[in-house]
Amino acid sequence: MTQYDLIIIGSGPGGRSAAIQAGKLKRRVLVIDRKDRLGGVSVHTGTIPSKTLRETVLNLSGWRERSFYGRSYRVKDEIGAEDLKERLHKTLDYEVDVLEHQFNRNHVETLYGMARFVSPTEVEVESDTGEVTSVTGANFLIATGTRTYRPDLVPFNGTTILDSDEFLEMSHIPRSLIVVGAGVIGVEYATMFAALDIDVTLIEPRDSFLDFIDKTLIQEFTHEIRENGVDLRLGSPIAQIKDCSTHVEVALENGRHVRGEMLLFAAGRMGATEKLGLEATGLKTDHRGRLNVDRKTYQTEVKHIYAVGDVIGHPSLASTSLQQGRVAACHAMDTPSLPESPWFPYGIYSVPEISTCGMSEEDIHSRGIAYEVGVARFRETSRGHIMGLEHGMLKMLFSLKTRRVLGVQIVGEGATELIHIAQAVLNLKGTVDYFVQNTFNYPTLAEAYKIAGLDAFNRMPIPDELKAVPPSAL
C-alpha cells in the first residue's frame, strides 16, 4: 500500500495550492479527484465558468457601449447557447492544461475516483469502473468544496428547472428567466442574463439580500439592476414551483405568481462531505455538511486532517481558498509560513460588479468607532466619461481618531480590480492622507480614490502637522 506525506481530496483552488506548496517542499503528494479532469467546482461549474460567461455576455451583447450607441446596440444580433459555451469550453480547457502542467512540474501525483476514509490514516478510492485503490497518508487535506442544494420543493428536470451546475449546460437561451435565491450566485446569473435583454425575475424569500455588503452599496446596486431590467422580488417565501411543460410557474406565499420559460434555483450550497466516510475518522460536520477548523492552521479536531475552501464555510472564495491551502500545507509539512493578511477583498461578478475590503459602515456603527465617509462617482472621473459610465461609485470609511482607512466599497465597472488599491492601503495601515498626497494616473477610474479621499479629508479635523503651516502655504 502506497504511503504519502500529504493526501489531498479535491483539486479546486484550496487543494491545488496545497499540492503545489507541498510539492515545492519535496514531499510526496497525492491529489484525489472524483472527476476525470482536475480543477474542481471552481474550474468546471463555479468561479471560472460564471466569470467567463459574464465576459462573453458583455462582449457579444455590446453592453459596455450602449451608453454611446443606444439600448438597441448589439455586437451580435442573435446570441445562442452555443455562442456562450464556445468561449467557456476554451477557457476551461486552458485552465485544466495549466493545472496539469503545474502538478507535473511539482511531481504531484493524481488519482481519479471517489475517496472514502476507512480509517483515520487510510482512504479507498473507487474509480468509475469499480476498481478500488487503497492509499495511506501521514496527513490529509479535505478540499471537496460544495454541491448544489436541491430541496424536494423544486421539481428539477435538467432542461427548464435547473440548479447552478446544470445551468451552464443549458440547451437554449430562454426568453424569460426566474432566479430563486439572491445570494452571490443568483445575483451574478440574474444580472448577466438581464444584460442579454432577457426578462429576469430574481426572487429572495428574505427582506434583504447580500447582507454582508455595505447597505449604501446595496441601495446603489439595487437601483441599477432594476434599471437594467431585473424584477427583484424580496420578502416572500415560495409556496410552490410548478413545471407546466411550456413554462415554469412560481407561487409566492404572498399570493403573487411569477411565470418564466426557465428557472434557476440558486438558494444555497452544501459541503460535499456526505460520501467521504468521515465517521471512520471521528469527524462530524454541521447541518450543511461543513467542517470546523482552527482558522490559523486549518486543522480539524483530528490533528493530521486539515480542511480548506468552501467546505469550511465563510468566506467561500476561490481567492481565500488558495491562501488557506498554502497555509495548511505548510503547517502539515511542519514548515514556517507567512500568516494570512487580515484584510482580503470580496468580489461579486454581477452586472455591475461589487467589491469590498475592510469594514462596512454597519460594522463601524456596531463597534462605536467615530468615522468619516468619502464618496466618489465614476461619472465624476474623466475616464468614466470616456467609457460612457453613467453609474458606479466608490465609498471609503476613515477613522476620525487615527485617520486610517477602515473599509472601502465599490460598485461599478472594474470594481474587482480597483479594490486591490484599498487592500494594500488597509494592510499597510494607511490613512486618508495617502490619497490626498499621492498622484493617480489620469485619466483612470482609480482617480475615484483621490476624489473620495478629498471628499472625506475636507470634512475631517486638520492633522497636527498642518496646523503650524500658514494657510497661504497650503
The phi and psi torsions of 401 (rounded to 5 degrees) equal -75, -50
Measured between its terminal Cα atoms, the distance across the chain in Å is 75
* pLDDT grade for 468, boundaries at 50, 70 and 90: low
> For residues 187-197, b (16+ Cβ closer than 10 Å) or e, as one string?
bbbbbbbbbbb
Per-residue pLDDT of 112-141, as tens digits, reads 999 999 999 999 999 988 899 999 999 999
- 426 located within any domain: yes
* CA 68 and chain centroid, separation: 31
**Domain termination residue (choose one: 245, 267, 289):** 267
* CA 275 and chain centroid, separation: 25
Per-residue pLDDT of 180-198, as tens digits, reads 999 999 999 999 999 999 9
Per-residue pLDDT of 51-99, as tens digits, reads 888 998 988 888 888 778 777 777 777 888 888 888 888 888 888 889 8
Nearest-CA neighbor of 312 among 141, 435, 85, 430?
141
Give the residue-averaged pLDDT of 171-183: 94
pLDDT the model gives residue 230? 97
Residue 349 has pLDDT above 70, yes or no: yes
* pLDDT grade for 466, boundaries at 50, 70 and 90: low
* CA 278 and chain centroid, separation: 27
Rg (CA), the chain: 24
* CA 327 and chain centroid, separation: 20
Per DSSP, what are the bridge partners of residue 356? Answer: 346, 409
Dist. CA 53–CA 84, nearest whole Å: 6
Dihedral sign computed on CA atoms, order 149, 126, 331, 21: negative
Q: Are residues 263 and 310 in the same domain?
A: no
Per DSSP, what are the bridge partners of residue 110? Answer: 31
Q: Are residues 21 and 136 in the same domain?
A: yes
DSSP-assigned states of every residue in 450-462: HHHHHHHHTTSPP
Give the total residue count for the chain. Answer: 474
The CATH code of the domain that includes 295 is 3.50.50.60
What residue numbers bound the domain in which 282 lies?
2-148+270-332
Q: Which residue has the higher pLDDT, 177 or 165?
A: 177
DSSP-assigned states of every residue in 328-370: HHHHHTT---PPPPS---EEE-SSS-EEEEE--HHHHHHHT--
- 292 located within any domain: yes
In the chain, the number of structural domains is 3
Which residues are CB-contacts of 372 (< 8 A; sequence separation ≥ 6)? 397, 398, 400, 432, 456, 459, 460
Which residues are CB-contacts of 468 (< 8 A; sequence separation ≥ 6)? none
- For 449-453, the CB contacts below 8 A with 24+ separation are 449/376, 449/394, 449/396, 449/418, 449/421, 449/422, 450/376, 451/374, 451/376, 451/380, 451/381, 451/394, 452/374, 452/375, 452/376, 452/394, 452/395, 452/396, 453/374, 453/396
Say which residue the cell 486543522 belongs to.
299
* CA 132 and chain centroid, separation: 35
Q: Is 61 left (phi over 0), alpha (psi -120 to 50) or beta?
A: alpha
Q: Are residues 371 and 426 in the same domain?
A: yes
- Average of per-residue pLDDT values in the chain: 92
Q: Are residues 290 and 205 in the same domain?
A: no
Dist. CA 327–CA 295, nearest whole Å: 10
Q: Are residues 185 and 235 in the same domain?
A: yes
Which residues are CB-contacts of 314 (< 8 A; sequence separation ≥ 6)? none
Q: Are residues 22 and 120 in the same domain?
A: yes
Q: Are residues 307 and 327 in the same domain?
A: yes
pLDDT the model gives residue 79? 85
Dist. CA 69–CA 58, nearest whole Å: 15
What angle, rounded to 10 degrees, do the helices at 184-194 and 47-61 form? 20
Q: Are residues 115 and 196 in the same domain?
A: no
- 459 located within any domain: yes
- 402 located within any domain: yes
- Quote the strand ranges of 352-436, DSSP E: 354-358, 371-377, 393-399, 405-411
Q: Are residues 40 and 106 in the same domain?
A: yes
